[in-house]
Chains A and B, each alone.
Chain A
Amino acid sequence: MAKVIVYPPTSMILSDLVERTGHKALVVPEQVRKLVTSTEIESPPLNMTPEEPKKGLRYAAVDVPSGVRGRMALIGPLIEEADAAIIMEDPGWLTGCAGCNRTNELVRLLIRTKGIPVLDLKYPENDSQAREFVRKIKAFLEGLK
């Protein structure tokens, strides 16, 4: 079983396809879960505090906007843990945890420079592209076993 980071890191389709093949999808909701189920903090909605942008300093300098560093505190550890990655071309509708393009650029850069196997894809627009999409993911994930 490989740990596969998916980009966008909140993608339902990618995380589902990864888990179907018996691998572990590394996704942001698991990080959010750790925060929101922590009883010690009371900072709604995400229970993020100024501590997260500080943790993000591990991935980006202090002159990088706090929202980027805060997001990196969630996504950075997933990149560190990843054995492989699937990266989608920006579909133009990323919001929330993936709603900052500066963060997204940094995430893609850190994944690519890590030297792990990366599968680059586009969201499909028709049935034959969808079949190709599923097939490529399956082949990529089988190659990780």
Chain B
Amino acid sequence: MIRIAELSCGAEYSGIQKEIERAAETVGAKIVYPEVSLDDILNVEEKFGVRVSSGDLNMAMARAVRIVENPDLADAVIVMTCFRCAEAAIIRSEIRKFIHERSRIPVLSYSFTERTTAETLLTRMEALVTTVKYRGLLGRERQTGLTAGIDSGSTTTKSVVMRDNQVIGTGWVPTTEVIKSAEDAFAAALKEAGVQKEEVQGLGVTGYGRFLVGKHFNARLVQEEITVNSKGAVFLADAQQGPATVIDIGGMDNKAIAVQDGIPGGFTMGGICAGASGRFLELTSRRLGVDITELGKLALKGNYQNVAMNSYCIVFGTQSLVNSLSMGCKPEDVAMAACHSVAEQVYEQQLQEVEVKEPVIMVGGTSLIEGLPRAMEELLHLKVKVPPHAQYIGAVGSALLVSGLLEG
């Protein structure tokens, strides 16, 4: 049984403690609370560096100290505090850093509201448990044999076929009917690779539709996107050893993952704002009358500062773009403003929750919209790497990991 230590403030009073426990139970884990004494809480500043006015946050910090001093007390940690609490936001981030810098225990950081449900937490918990349970598998650096991967995403379905550490076939289709799209993408990848389905030794599946698709194809590996994508990203970017940061701006949600030696150490996942997703860029390209594949190149010629954007929102932000066009702004400036808006929201809301260490790898279909990695570079003040096959990241990660299972 995987033990997840809960360091939290406000979860019980927000009425979501049961949801946290339910999510943990679903992924085969148990929530534990490290023992601390009253003196540990009162003297927390000595070891943690600060004491705040809310006692439950002091307790969470004291528990973090205890875990770092006794790493065998827990296999993973979740740090959870109320959304919109400034005091807690500072401490949540500092607890994450404190544990990250002093141990190898994976940490999940999350701010909740009373609307947070077990379903919201599930993928995050699953990733946390996977990093603990399959540490050996995640350490795998080479793909062997003939394997395939399918990434059943919310917007697009991707598939790859790999042989002896090389991608030999790819398939990409918009997601309509989940199974049908997976079949089409897989068939395209097989065709390009010139192999028959029966020849494939192992299939790995990830993405939103992973359970359905995994069952349909009787896949050997069915895995959430966080561990799979980070694996795929460091593989393709040739950054398997040492630190890396993976940013995946998807069609419906975003992931920011701090990776160490190919294994996620901390991550966040956002998924409530369409303004921070590929959808926003899709709408912009439609409004500008350019194909989505051309939007990035157009953006590179523009300057976002020439466009006044009042909101990140897909409705009101798009309105700003439309207004600026009617006021004579150039399409390239509008294209870059859209890229900057998406990047900035991810930067503000997610990259603050993970340790950003180089190389920064951007993956997923949106990373091919050149303006987006450029905007991220400007925000982070460092170089962003977009590896080859970046849009097939989940499928590549699945094909790579499943090959590890074939060797038993």
Query: C-beta contact mask, A38-52 vs B, less than 8 Å → 1, else 0?
Result: 000011111011111
CB proximity to A under 8 Å, residues B17-70 = 17-18, 21, 38, 41-42, 52-57, 59
Which residues of A sit under 8 angstroms from B9, Cβ to Cβ?
A: 67, 99-100
Tell me how far the C-beta of B18 lies from the nearest C-beta in chain A, rounded to whole angstroms.
Answer: 5
| Chain A positions within 8 Å of B18 at CB level | 42-44
Complex: A20 Cα to B57 Cα, angstroms: 34
The digit string for B105-117, where 1 denotes a CB below 8 A from any CB of A, is 0000000111100
CB contact between A66 and one of B38, B42, B87, B112 (< 8 Å): that residue: B112
Does any Cβ of B come within 8 Å of A21's Cβ?
Answer: no
Say how far A88's CB is from chain B's closest CB, in angstroms: 14
- Whole-angstrom CA separation of A49 from B53 in the bound complex: 26
Q: Report the bound CA distance from A51 to B145 in whole Å.
A: 54
Cβ–Cβ contact B56 & A53, under 8 A: no
Looking at the assembled complex, report how far the CB atom of A1 sits from the nearest CB atom of chain B, in whole angstroms: 30
Contact A65 B82 (CB under 8 A): yes
Q: How many A residues are at the interface, by size bracket?
A: 20 to 34
Q: Mark B55-93, 1 if CB is under 8 A from A, else 0.
A: 111010000000000000000000001111101100000
A52 touches B17 (CB 8 A): no
Whether A98 pairs with B55 at a CB distance below 8 angstroms is yes
Query: Contact: A100 with B13, CB < 8 Å?
Result: yes
Q: A53: which B residues are within 8 A, CB to CB?
A: 13-15, 113-114
A66 with B13, Cβ < 8 A, contacts A92-B42, A93-B42 known: yes
Interface presence of A95 (CB below 8 A): yes
- Kindly identify which residue among B12, B112, B113 contacts A45, using a CB–CB cutoff of 8 Å: B12
Smallest distance from the beta carbon of B347 to chain A beta carbons, Å?
23
Interchain Cβ contacts under 8 Å between A and B, 14 examples: A43-B18, A53-B113, A65-B10, A66-B14, A66-B16, A68-B10, A70-B12, A92-B42, A95-B41, A97-B13, A99-B56, A100-B10, A100-B54, A101-B52
Known A-B contacts: A68-B82, A69-B114, A93-B42. Give 13 more (CB < 8 A): A43-B15, A43-B17, A48-B13, A50-B15, A50-B114, A65-B84, A66-B15, A70-B12, A70-B114, A99-B9, A99-B59, A101-B87, A102-B85
